[in-house]
Amino acid sequence: MASNSETIYIKAGRNTEVKKPDITLGEVLEITCVNPSMEAKVRSLRLLKGINGRVAVSVLKVVSMIQEVYPNAEVQSIGEPDFIVTYEEPGKGSRFMQSVKVVFVSVLSFFGAAFSIMAFNNDVDAPKLFDQIYTQIMGNKPDGFTILELTYSLGLAVGILIFFNHFGKKKFTVDPTPMEVEMRLYENDIQTTLIETYSRKERELHVDQTDSSCGHRK
């Protein structure tokens, strides 16, 4: 076993969610090797035991584990230098509470957006502006609701749909929506902060740590 000199490639994502507290390398990493038996053995190596919440792991710990089994093997990491493993107990969050949160956020977003639009219209004095435009074009003052208010309302709705590239479950193009882009950037910032925090507080599973039973609450 120690005479094998194959190259083992591993790739770690920034954050991996798992469904059980005992984790092997194959469950959190992409692993490939021209030797199938070596690949299977590496996949079965236990990385974590009894984790709870989030755990930050240095990829050097993974390399060290593999080289303990295959000292002559070359390990090539083509992924993240540090990664997070996240475990949450099944059934911890109920469907009812998730539905309540979705409804709350939806209502809050709706009224927040409506208030922002009304505040903008009030700041620029939109009714007076529409009256002036109508008077200049038609030659007389408007008598109540005009086509300008109608087209403005429709244009606002269409503009929002086009900008967010999303209506219900339907997307107009394959491009990610602005909300998806912002959420991805936010997620990356959170993960980077967590890794740096765990590393600074020496709570990261690193190459010199032998105990794989660890976990940090969220």
Q: Where are the domains of the chain?
A: 7-92, 94-124
Rounded to whole angstroms, the Cα distance separating 80 from 34 reads: 22
Cβ 56 vs Cβ 200: under 8 Å: no
Query: Tokens at residue 104, please?
Result: 């709350």
Predicted local confidence at residue 163, as pLDDT? 81
pLDDT < 70: residue spans in the chain: 1-4, 91-93, 202, 207-218
Tell me which architecture the domain covering 7-92 has in CATH: Sandwich (2.60)
What is the reported pLDDT for 6?
86
Structure tokens at 113: 């957006």
Q: What was the pLDDT predicted at 109? A: 87
What does the pLDDT read at residue 1?
Answer: 43
Q: For residue 89, what pLDDT is reported?
A: 76
Beta carbons within 10 angstroms of residue 75's beta carbon: 20
**Is the Cβ–Cβ distance between 180 and 15 less than 8 Å?**
no
Torsion sign across C-alpha atoms 126, 130, 136, 137 = positive
202 φψ region: left (φ > 0), alpha (ψ -120 to 50), beta (else) = left
The pLDDT assigned to 63 comes to 93
State the pLDDT at residue 208.
65
What is the reported pLDDT for 2? Answer: 44
Residue 140, pLDDT score: 85
**Amino acid 64: pLDDT:** 92
